[in-house]
Amino acid sequence: MESATVTASRRYPLEREIRVGLCGCGVIGEGVVTTLLRHADIIGERVGAPVRLVAVADKDPARLDIVRAQDPNIALLDDAFEITKRDDVDIVVELIGGIEVADRLVRAALDAKKHVVTANKALLAERGAALFALAKANGCDLYFEAAVAGAIPVIRVIRESLAGDRIRSVRGIINGTSNYILSRMANEGAAFANALKAAQEAGFAEADPTLDVTGGDAGHKLALIAALAFGARVLPSEIPTEGIEEVDPRDIQYARKFGYAIRPLAVAEHLEDDVLDLRVHPALVPLTDSLAHVDGALNAVAIQGEMVGPSFLSGLGAGASPTATSVAGDIIDIARNSLAGGPVRTWHLPSERDQKIQPIADLSSRYYLRFSVRDQSGVLAALSGKLGDSGISIDQLVQDHEGGDAGTASIALLTHHAREGDVRDSLRAIESTHFTTAPTQLIRIVE
Ligand code: HSE
């Protein structure tokens, strides 16, 4: 493997070198070390000056041993804050994750006039406005391509390539772990827990995988997408969010019969009058839609712009090497900015707008509903009658028997468009009757 020392001995058009300090050497951090060392030659050529990893900090000595084995010239530290104090560091890469300590670390780096690259979507979704303001005040760059959809350059595309267009909607699969789990359940009949374990072993999942399967991770990413696409200042807690834990293998099978796949979706749409439709939930996606064929840990983002029409990006949204490549891209961009003498190209959050998030009860959508009912005469008529009472019209319906329970049946149906509040009211009325045997499954259809 080529080391940073070799890079430093090359000749470059620019005399300065750009020095990087890495905070956090877990799955992604180790990928960043490998990328910066293995690709030192091409990175240097593309920047016009060497980009050198000078220091790595991690509390776990075993992780530092792995770095030492790759390049003994890199300073190894157990305290990430030491990196922000070093005179020989120009760019601090924050990969420690979490919010409180990471917040202090990024602030310390910016206050020390160091540029920052982070993959921390939770931090930016919760505290981004203050951190971008601090970066600007200090004349520093704060880059975060790796925070959303791993290797897919979704931040750059929205922030730069499509900056001249008015974005109408962004729909995507932006959590690899959830997509991996649903894909394994669909393709191999895997149990939820086994598929999650495999995703963790492959390095896709967050340190706390609850964030993946409950939709929290996708909510963080969607808040960042909404900020870039619509200038929205929205906290993840304001985004209606549901995880994939309640998706049953039966739902995947019924969906397929109806011509749909179930995918973990994040939706951001600019409705009229500055109302935003933002939501994260599993969704039935027609098999004719490209999103239905984004399998495994792959992510995909479909963007609809006023002028550009539809764009579709897909790629690896999680894992060490893809995510590390996005970190390296940010380092290269900042290095170019620095060598060009600035000014920094920190993006500007638009001033606060009076935008509202549509309450989920007001959503107009088609729905997949699966009822567990007694297998008795009159039940189907009563059920469709109750739906009809709330103005909910059935589009397609199948009925079969649930495995095991004699005397019960499953009724799975797709509705025509309906207001979600009305659907929920109707389900409450249906569940209060004597003929339901378990809570009803509701999954939104996105098409
Ligand atoms: N846990 C995340 C995922 C990693 O599964 O997509 C990338 O943010």
Q: Which fold has domain 162-316?
A: Dihydrodipicolinate Reductase; domain 2 (3.30.360)
Question: Which residue in the list 121, 136, 221, 386 is annotated as catalytic?
Answer: 221
What pLDDT does 273 receive?
79
| 386 is annotated as an active-site residue | no
Confidence at residue 349, expressed as pLDDT on a 0 to 100 scale: 62
C-alpha distances (whole Å) from 171 to each of 167, 212, 245 are 11, 17, 21
CA distances from 438 to 85, 269, 372, 432 (A): 59, 34, 6, 11
Each residue's pLDDT tens digit, 80-109: 999 999 999 999 999 999 999 999 999 999
Residue 156 has pLDDT above 70, yes or no: yes
Ligand 1 midpoint to CA 156 (Å): 18
Are 162-316 and 362-445 equal in CATH topology? no
The atom of ligand 1 lying closest to the CA of 204 is 5
Provide the 3-class DSSP secondary structure of residue 366.
strand
| Predicted local distance difference test score (pLDDT) of residue 402 | 59
Averaged over 33-50, what is the pLDDT? 96
Distance 211 CA to ligand 1 centre (A): 9
* Contact indicator for 432, 363 with CB cutoff of 8 Å: no
Which is the closest atom of ligand 1 to the Cα of 174? Answer: 6
Cα 146 to Cα 28: distance, rounded to the nearest angstrom? 10
Instruction: Give domain 362-445's CATH architecture.
Output: 2-Layer Sandwich (3.30)
What is the distance in A from the centroid of ligand 1 to the CA of 146?
Answer: 10
Q: Helices 420-431 and 379-389 sit at what angle, rounded to 10 degrees?
A: 140
Spans of all domains in the chain: 4-150+321-339, 162-316, 362-445
Reported as a single tens digit per residue, the pLDDT across 105-155 is 999 999 999 999 999 999 999 999 999 999 999 999 999 999 999 999 999
What is the rounded average pLDDT of the residues 419-440?
95
pLDDT at 233: 87
Is residue 23 within 8 A of residue 94, CB to CB? The reply is yes
Query: Could you tell me the two tokens for 193?
Result: 């827990």
Whole-number Å distance, alpha carbon 412 to ligand 1 midpoint, is 31
Find the mean pLDDT for residues 181-188: 95
Q: Which residues line ligand 1 (CB under 6 A)?
A: 150, 175-177, 204-206, 212, 217, 317-318
Task: Report the percent of the chain where pLDDT is more than 90.
Answer: 83
What would the CATH number be for the domain defined by 4-150+321-339?
3.40.50.720
